[in-house]
Chains A and B, each alone.
Chain A
Amino acid sequence: MISNGRYSLLFNALFTLFMVGPLVVVIGVSFTPTGYLEFPPSGLSLRWFAAILDNPDFIDAAWVSLKLGIASATVSTIVAVPAALAIGREKFSGREALQALFLSPLTVPTVVLGIAFLRLLSVLELNGTFVGLVLCHAIIITPFVLRLVLSSVVGMDRSIEKAAISLGASNWTVFRRITMPLIMPGIVGGWVLAFITSFDELTVTVFIVNPSTTTLPVRLFSHITQTTDPLIASVSTVVILFTVALMLLINRFYGLDRLLMGETK
């Protein structure tokens, strides 16, 4: 294996700085004892973290986001797993069109999705409701679940199922005892990725929330566009830490590279 030279390592160091810098700045700012965004902070204070507790707006929004993420990831997984089984292993006309449809939320600009959902939900008088949010988020995140489940379905040796059948297993037993466990990593990975995507979603959500269903990203967004106090930095720091914790968990059990770029090696 050819190793990296000196310039490569320098490039890598600068690149790391570029990637991490903005996040470090946010975290740094959140510890400021002053009332404005300063970096590096002139002291270390937890004042702005304490302030989060006095702002039920943010805490409520975080709860909405959490519930929304769990609900929409679950809805999406429930519909995407059977769809992936059909697309991944059956031959039928319309298969490719169906796959393109299920992946299309990745290509349609999110603002377009946002106003389309807004239009539909206002006609159905569901605008701003939690149910409406869950369904719309399920659409946006289904491509992620589908892709991961599909790759584990396609990667599975079908003679394993034949072996189970030849040993006397019924269709249902084959699915429960063999197929499910084998595509489980894809399902779990897909669910987690879907959850995170929903948890972070702003562009679509901003069109379809109302004050009682405001999510954390929307709350942060409207706060940032109105005022600039270190409170947004401390909330952001909490978001960063939460995401990093989740990320390390994924990396431990599934592999971040596998989650984001499919099977490696």
Chain B
Amino acid sequence: MSFLEIKALTKRFSETTAVEDFSLTVERGEFVSLLGPSGCGKTTTLQMIAGFEQPTSGSIILHGRNLAKIPARKRGLGIVFQTYALFPHMTVEQNVAFGLEMRGIPEPDRRQKVAAALDLVKLSHLAKRLPKAMSGGQRQRVALARALVIEPELLLLDEPLSNLDAKLREEMQLELRRIQQEAGVTTLLVTHDQSEAMALSDRIAVMQSGRLMQLGTPFDTYETPKSTFISNFLGKTNCLNARLVSTTGTASTLVINGIEVSGPSVNLLPGDVMASLRPERIDIVESSDGHTEAKVLERIFLGDQWLFRLETKLGELLVVRRNRGRREAEPGENVFIVWQPEHLQILPASRESA
């Protein structure tokens, strides 16, 4: 039996179904992210686990305990809210001590645990501060310390980094991962930021309109997305309408825009499909031998990378190239592109794209 088992969880509000038939198991010590676009039901799922929303149906079992009848305050979960929800009238120390106080932990013990928690998040020097006199990143750490100090069985994080600026967010990602591993706490993170989910988690659960679409390690999910939606959501990709002509055990043949292209073997019936090709998997070369011809429409410099928009017989393609300090093709120039057939992802034709 897994540590956390969510079975067929469903939540209906009067008009909308926020979460539908959502099942997920999480192992002890694991870091799992719920990733999905705004409004897909991530927060609602987390709130049901936390006990702030009643599921319409389904069950949540934590460490063998069914949480259904246990009120939020008895679940003993550590929660970090998007707005941090620090108690503004209490010092950092008092904030962190609150949960221990509720558990009736005696003063000396309490002080020691608070000190250890603040140490973990590197805030010992600010123990006497009020939250309003702190930066976003520091508040974030206080919120983490406050959630961790009660030694929760499960840590729930709802978009904990979304209020931070880009640079701080990256720093805090590393910090969060370190703290989670040091504390060894099973963690469920909600985010709509794919890079955050990939950077932090052992596994990612991608949600769309209240349903779980795909579950797997960041690498697997990125490399073998189950749909164009996921492929698009996890980073940039070129999506091309294609027709699957034939597929064998080792390879397949597709027609894109009237041009025959080969791809990896797939478990799909011949017919309309989507072909997805990641921009970083396409290489730009100068020699023409057998490669596809392309014309540079636009070129954007991104510091460590170049982003190209190319016109090809297959359609418009985005291409990313690492900046190696060399001259790159300019708009208007003709180039040639090449890619490995196995990097072409062949996905079922999505319903929404006509």
Contact = CB atoms under 8 A, between A and B. Distances in A.
A–B: direct contact at CB < 8 Å: yes
A159 B75 CA distance: 17
B351 interface: no
A243 interface: no
Interface in B84-138: 85-89, 98-99, 102-103
B292 interface: no
A164 to B, nearest CB: 7
A173 interface: yes
Contacts of B77: 166
Given A167-B146, A168-B73, A182-B88, A159 B102 contact: no
By size class, the interface of chain A is 10 to 19
Given A162-B79, A162-B81, A168 B89 contact: no
A178 B87 CA distance: 7
Interface residues of B, number: 27
B88 A168 contact: no
Contact of B86 (A160, A173, A181): A160
B85 A159 contact: yes
Contacts of B81: 159, 162-163
A165 B72 contact: yes
B74 A168 contact: yes
A169 interface: yes
A173 B73 CA distance: 11
B83 interface: yes
Interface in A115-173: 157, 159-160, 162-170, 173
Contacts of B296: none
B150 interface: yes
B86 A166 contact: no
Nearest to B98: A167
Contact of B102 (A157, A162, A169, A181): A169
Contact of B87 (A164, A168, A173): A164
A170 B52 CA distance: 14
Interface in A26-75: none
B309 to A, nearest CB: 42
B29 interface: no
Contacts of B83: 157, 159
Q: DSSP majority for the B interface?
A: loop
Contacts, number: 60
Interface in B36-62: 50-52
Nearest to B100: A167
Contacts of B98: 164, 167, 169, 177
Interface in A173-216: 173, 177-178, 181-182
A145 B342 CA distance: 70
Nearest to B96: A167
B76 interface: yes
A167 B72 CA distance: 9
Q: Which of A160, A164, A168, A181 has the most CB of B within 10 A?
A: A168
Residue in A160, A167, A169, A182 with the greatest tally of chain B CB atoms within 10 Å: A167
A164 B99 CA distance: 8
A192 to B, nearest CB: 20
B76 to A, nearest CB: 7
Nearest to A161: B85
A98 B102 CA distance: 36
B78 interface: yes
A66 B98 CA distance: 40
Contacts of A166: 50-51, 72-73, 75, 77-79, 147
Given A162-B52, A173-B102, A168 B85 contact: no
A160 B52 CA distance: 13
Given A168-B99, A173-B102, A162 B88 contact: no
Given A167-B98, A169-B98, A173-B102, A160 B76 contact: no
A168 B86 contact: no
Given A166-B50, A166-B73, A167-B150, A160 B87 contact: yes
A178 B147 CA distance: 17
Q: Which 9 A-B pairs have the closest CB atoms?
A: A167-B99, A168-B102, A159-B85, A163-B85, A159-B81, A166-B79, A160-B85, A165-B73, A181-B89
Given A163-B143, A181-B89, 9 more contacts: A157-B85, A159-B81, A162-B52, A166-B51, A168-B73, A168-B76, A168-B103, A168-B150, A178-B87
28 contacts: A157-B83, A159-B81, A159-B82, A159-B85, A160-B85, A160-B86, A162-B85, A163-B146, A164-B87, A164-B98, A165-B72, A165-B73, A166-B50, A166-B51, A166-B73, A166-B79, A166-B147, A167-B98, A167-B146, A167-B150, A168-B73, A168-B76, A168-B99, A168-B150, A173-B102, A177-B98, A178-B87, A182-B88
